[in-house]
Amino acid sequence: MDRNGNAYLADFGLLPIVLEFRAVPYLSTTIGSSVRWAAPELFQIPDAASAPPLQLSMDSDIYSFSSVMLQVLSGNVPYHTFKRDEQVLYAVARTIKPDRPQASNLTDNYWEFIQVCWSPRRENKRPSATDVSTFLATQHLS
């Protein structure tokens, strides 16, 4: 956040770490609460017969961005009902979505859009960055 109140989002270095180290004990002790914003597919451990290792993607960024949207609009971090990071990691790895917090700025429109951004990657339903920009341009906070 700059002095004018503009928010800046940046990769905190989480994704390269996640891609290199996918063991749950390592993740839960090393990256801590960053799991609240990470896409579920980043925590799937491929077996030897599965597809090639996961690459960083716009899809995972869209998922994370929508988690930031949830926090900005509601004032609550994703999975705000979970106190421990291990609980969050368990939920994320099983594609359990965060509960909807009660907040006046989190309208049905926003909530529905966030849900689309949280669609499982395999369904190819997450919006593009252009779609996100277009959606946000049409919304107005009171």
For 112-141, the pLDDT digits (tens) are 999 999 998 777 899 999 999 999 999 976
Residue 3 lies in a domain: no
Of all residues in the chain, what percent carry a pLDDT higher than 70?
A: 66
* CATH code of residue 23: 1.10.510.10
pTM: 0.74
Interatomic CA distance for residues 67 and 61, integer angstroms? 10
What is the domain extent for residue 120?
14-47+54-137
pLDDT recorded at residue 136: 94
- What is the total count of domains within the chain? 1
Give the model confidence (pLDDT) of 61-75 as tens digits: 999 999 999 999 999
Q: Tell me, what amino acid is at 63?
A: Y
Is 94 or 19 the better-scoring residue by pLDDT?
94
Query: Per residue, what are the HEC states of 78-105?
Result: CCCCCCCHHHHHHHHHCCCCCCCCCCCC
State pLDDT tens for residues 43-67. Answer: 766 665 665 555 668 898 999 999 9
Q: Does any domain span residue 7?
A: no
Token pair recorded at residue 12: 């905190």
Tell me whether residue 2 is in a domain. Answer: no
If one compares 96 and 4, the residue with the highest pLDDT of the two is 96
Distances (CA, A) of 57 to 2, 33, 39, 62: 27, 21, 10, 9
Residue whose C-alpha is closest to residue 101's, from 132, 68, 69, 79 = 79
What is the predicted pLDDT for the residue at 81? 93
